[in-house]
């Protein structure tokens, strides 16, 4: 886990939460975790493939999720229904997407997967040999924790731009 991947995510989270939820978030202390993550009420899972690969989690409790979805949708939601769920998943999607664009400008091109939403406290998530960088953000909605389990990709697949430039033969 390299800290240069970190700033795009923090910036993206600040910007998106400011724009969509009209809240300024404060960053808490960063932590590096090798152990498993025990889930909160809601966890949005977005994977990345490319120059940077791995998985990003956004975790929060129900109250924070409702606050965020209500703010995004512009109406007060009473229960964690599928609309509220899609609001939270969309938040994770937009933040990760924005971060990947910033990473692109820094030279790291990646594609992000569609988001998956995990609901239920107490499940154990392991990102295996990817260490997780924990970024807690607090603000009016409550606490949102961003977990970054990322590292530089090994270019197993296609990379952009998808034009191969032949290597010049070595002069002997």
Partner 1 sequence: MVNVNFMNPFVEAAVEVLKAEVQLVPQRGSLSLTKSALTTNDITVLISLVGQVQGVVMYGMSIDTGLELVSRMMGQVFKEFDNLAQSGVAEMGNVITGRATVKLYEGGFSAMISPPTLIQGRDVTISTLDFARIIVPLVTEAGEIVIHLALRESPTGQQDNNFVDLTIPPSSTKS
In the complex, which residues of this chain contact partner 1 (CB under 8 A)? 36, 39, 45-50, 53-55, 82, 85-86, 89, 97, 100-101, 104-105, 109-120, 122-130, 149, 156-158, 160-163
Nearer to partner 1, 70 or 86 (CB): 86
Q: What is the rounded distance in angstroms from the CA atom of residue 59 to the CA atom of residue 41?
A: 8
Closest distance of CB 85 from partner 1, Å: 6
Q: 47: left (phi > 0), else alpha (psi -120 to 50), else beta?
A: beta
CB of 103 to partner 1, least distance (A): 8
Q: Burial-class residue 89 by CB neighbours within 10 Å (0-12, 13-18, 19+).
A: buried
Residues counted in the chain: 172
Considering beta carbons, is residue 108 or 139 the nearer one to partner 1? 108
> Looking at beta carbons only, is 92 or 139 nearer to partner 1?
92
> In whole angstroms, what is the distance from residue 97 CA to residue 89 CA?
12
Q: Write down the least CB distance from residue 133 to partner 1, Å.
A: 15
């Amino acid at each position: 886990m390299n800290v240069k991947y970190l700033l795009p995510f923090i910036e993206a989270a600040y910007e998106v939460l400011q724009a969509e939820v009209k809240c300024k978030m404060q960053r808490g202390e960063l932590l590096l975790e090798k152990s498993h993550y025990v889930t909160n009420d809601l966890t949005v899972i977005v994977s990345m493939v490319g120059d940077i690969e791995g998985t990003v989690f956004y975790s929060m409790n129900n109250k924070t999720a409702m606050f965020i979805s209500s703010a995004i949708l512009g109406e007060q939601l009473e229960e964690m229904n599928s609309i509220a769920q899609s609001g939270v998943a969309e938040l994770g999607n937009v933040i990760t997407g924005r971060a990947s664009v910033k990473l692109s400008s820094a030279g790291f091109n990646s594609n992000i997967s569609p988001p998956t939403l995990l609901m239920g406290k107490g499940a154990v998530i392991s990102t295996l040999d990817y260490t997780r960088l924990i970024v807690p953000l607090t603000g009016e909605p409550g606490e949102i924790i961003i977990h970054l389990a990322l590292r530089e990709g090994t270019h197993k697949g296609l990379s952009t731009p998808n034009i191969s430039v032949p290597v010049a033969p070595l002069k002997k």
